[in-house]
């Protein structure tokens, strides 16, 4: 018998509709250029790191050859600054001819040949945030058609240089226009981030109907302060944010910055764990040509990815934040399993935290086991009131996968798309 906490049952029955393009039934995974490579267009002096077809081909090679693709990281996503400064004579967007000499269609073919998908960036407004041609209301259908004709698989539509009324018209129109192309193109909407991210200004019911994912808060930067700011905003507003996510419609707290310069090892583990609890898109923005094994092992942790990709698609939330600055987060998963994250916002020393699922008011199977997602150790034969102690490092996390004791846990190592839920 499955025992679900009652609050969850209510959430499950109130999920509502999602964008009907069949895409992103679990949070999308892949790579996105922005945080790491920004608007670096200086290919003369920095040919390896400028926004160019070479960069995206390099990342596609790495995703395909270094084990990422098999784990589910399948999108290679272009962000701002890919376009020429002017549209062509027929008014169509074109890629910068120097930096993308083969064009986006050829890049899409290259990416597809590796078994990956290509994402592109646009902006609903006069200009993109970086000053490249934007998409005005009258250009929506043309641009959707252009992206589809290139074989693009995802569109991130930013919102610089337009006002709220234009956005309110434009985002639903783009969703329709993408659908009308006949090509399944996932739709990422930056709209709520421009409107403060909260109701009543933001209508999450509507977003769920027209977008597969949406950014609702500040852009991530390469710092722990930035990650913390996002996590704190998500926990502060979780009563609004948690119920609106589900298969095909995800809150997007922005890119994973693991592998860059701003996070320690502990902080990197925290970002990954919290993004999995939040059912967040896992778009890495890093240099896959130069990532260390230690960093890659966080991003490639199979049990963590399994948690992220749980088919129920229920976003987790913070259960409690103690005076000790330890936060307990929980995400309900399929097959009577769940993920717990003990997250330290302390700045002193490792903290020993003792609790039981009963003390956390979590309904659990009668007899259960827990596996530490990062260290791999397993604690067997726990009951609801069995106390256990975790040691959480400053700005670090201990993440536990909780499963009924009677389950034969297998298939963790099976790679997507073949892996199936736990067998009972």
The residue (of 166 and 345) whose beta carbon lies closer to ligand NAG is 166
Count CA atoms within 13 Å of residue 400 on its CB side: 22
β-pair partners for 354: 389
Give the span between the Cα atoms of 299 and 293, in whole angstroms.
10
- Quick one: 320 or 378, whose CB is closer to ligand NAG? 320
For the record, the structure tokens of 298 come out as 């966080």
- Least spacing, CB of residue 110 vs ligand NAG, in Å: 23
Of 4 and 319, which CB lies nearer to ligand NAG in the complex structure?
319
| Shorter beta-carbon distance to ligand NAG: residue 208 or 259 | 208
- Selected catalytic residue, list 80, 123, 153, 158: 158
Measured CA to CA in angstroms, residue 10 lies from 14, 243, 340, 391 at distances of: 7, 10, 20, 33
CB of 384 to ligand NAG, least distance (A): 13
User: Smallest distance, Å, CB 51 to ligand NAG?
Assistant: 28
- Provide the minimum distance between the beta carbon of 176 and ligand NAG in the complex, in angstroms, as a whole number: 9
Do 144 and 135 touch, CB atoms closer than 8 A?
A: no
Length of the chain: 424
| Continuous segment of H or E residues that includes residue 197 | none
When the beta carbons of 203 and 223 are compared against ligand NAG, the nearer one is 203
**371-378 contacts: CB < 8 A, separation 24 or more?**
371/303, 371/400, 371/401, 371/403, 372/398, 372/399, 372/400, 373/273, 373/301, 373/303, 373/304, 373/307, 373/339, 373/399, 373/400, 373/401, 374/269, 374/298, 374/301, 374/398, 374/399
CB atoms within 10 A of CB 109: 14
- The first and second tokens of residue 379, run together, are 């604690």
Question: Smallest Cα–Cα separation from 134: which of 108, 179, 164, 170?
Answer: 170
Q: Is 153 marked active-site?
A: no
* Residues 6+ positions from 200 with CB-CB distance below 8 Å: none
Produce one character per residue of 211-231: b if its CB has 16 or more CB atoms within 10 Å, e if not: bbbbbbbeebbeebebbeebb
Q: How far is the CB of 183 from ligand NAG (least distance, A)?
A: 6
Q: Of residues 61, 66, 219, 372, which has the active-site annotation? A: 219
**Cβ 306 to ligand NAG shortest distance, Å:** 26
* 296 versus 341: smaller Cβ distance to ligand NAG: 341
Complex with ligand NAG: residue 57 or 319, whichever CB lies closer = 319
The span from the CA of 213 to the CA of 417, in Å, is: 21
Residue 158 is a catalytic residue: yes
Closest CB 278 distance from ligand NAG, rounded Å: 19
Task: Return d(Cα 117, Cα 94) in angstroms, integer.
Answer: 19
Q: Would you call 331 helix, strand, or coil by DSSP?
A: strand
Q: Which residues contact 236 (CB under 8 A, 6 or more apart)?
A: none
The closest of 247, 314, 380, 285 to 35, measured between CA atoms, is 285
Residues interacting with ligand NAG, by CB under 6 A?
20-22, 163, 165-166, 179, 182-184, 203, 205-206, 209, 319-320, 360-361
Cβ proximity to ligand NAG, 182 vs 417, nearer residue:
182
CB of 207 to ligand NAG, least distance (A): 8
The residues annotated as belonging to the active site are 158, 219
């Amino acid at each position: 018998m499955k025992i679900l906490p009652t609050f969850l049952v209510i959430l499950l029955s109130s999920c509502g509709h999602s964008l009907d393009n069949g895409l992103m039934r679990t949070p999308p995974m892949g790579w996105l250029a922005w945080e790491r490579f920004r608007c670096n267009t200086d290919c003369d002096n920095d040919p390896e790191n400028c926004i160019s077809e070479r960069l995206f081909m390099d990342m596609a090679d790495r995703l395909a050859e270094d084990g990422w693709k098999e784990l589910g990281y399948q999108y290679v996503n272009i962000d701002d600054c890919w376009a020429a400064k002017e549209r062509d004579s027929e008014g169509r967007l074109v890629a910068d001819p120097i930096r993308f000499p083969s064009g986006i269609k050829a890049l899409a073919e290259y990416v597809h040949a590796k078994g990956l998908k290509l994402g592109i960036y646009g902006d609903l407004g006069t200009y993109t945030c970086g000053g490249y041609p934007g998409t005005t209301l009258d250009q929506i259908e043309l641009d959707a058609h252009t992206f589809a004709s290139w074989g693009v698989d995802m569109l991130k539509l930013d919102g610089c240089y337009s006002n709220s009324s234009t956005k309110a018209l434009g985002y639903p129109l783009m969703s329709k226009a993408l659908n009308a192309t006949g090509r399944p193109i996932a739709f990422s909407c930056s709209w709520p981030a421009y409107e403060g991210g909260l109701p009543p200004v933001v209508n999450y019911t509507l977003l769920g109907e027209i977008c597969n994912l949406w950014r609702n808060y500040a852009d991530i930067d390469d710092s722990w302060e930035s990650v913390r700011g996002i996590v704190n905003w998500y926990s502060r507003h979780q009563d609004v944010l948690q119920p609106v996510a589900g298969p095909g419609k995800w809150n997007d707290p922005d890119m994973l910055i693991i592998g860059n310069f701003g996070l320690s090892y502990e902080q990197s583990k925290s970002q990954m764990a919290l993004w999995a609890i939040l059912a967040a898109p896992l778009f890495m923005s890093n240099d896959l040509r130069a990532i260390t094994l230690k960093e890659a092992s966080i991003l490639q942790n199979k049990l963590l990815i399994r948690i992220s990709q749980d088919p129920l698609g229920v976003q987790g939330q913070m259960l409690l934040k103690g005076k000790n600055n330890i936060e307990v987060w929980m995400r309900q998963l399929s097959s009577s399993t769940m993920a717990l994250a003990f997250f330290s916002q302390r700045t002193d020393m490792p903290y020993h935290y003792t609790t039981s699922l009963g003390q956390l008011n979590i309904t659990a199977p009668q007899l259960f086991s827990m596996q530490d997602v990062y260290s791999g150790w397993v604690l067997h034969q726990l009951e609801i009131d069995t106390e256990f102690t975790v040691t959480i490092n400053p700005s670090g996390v201990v993440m536990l996968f909780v499963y009924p004791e009677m389950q034969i846990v297998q298939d963790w190592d099976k790679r997507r798309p073949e892996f199936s839920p736990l067998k009972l």
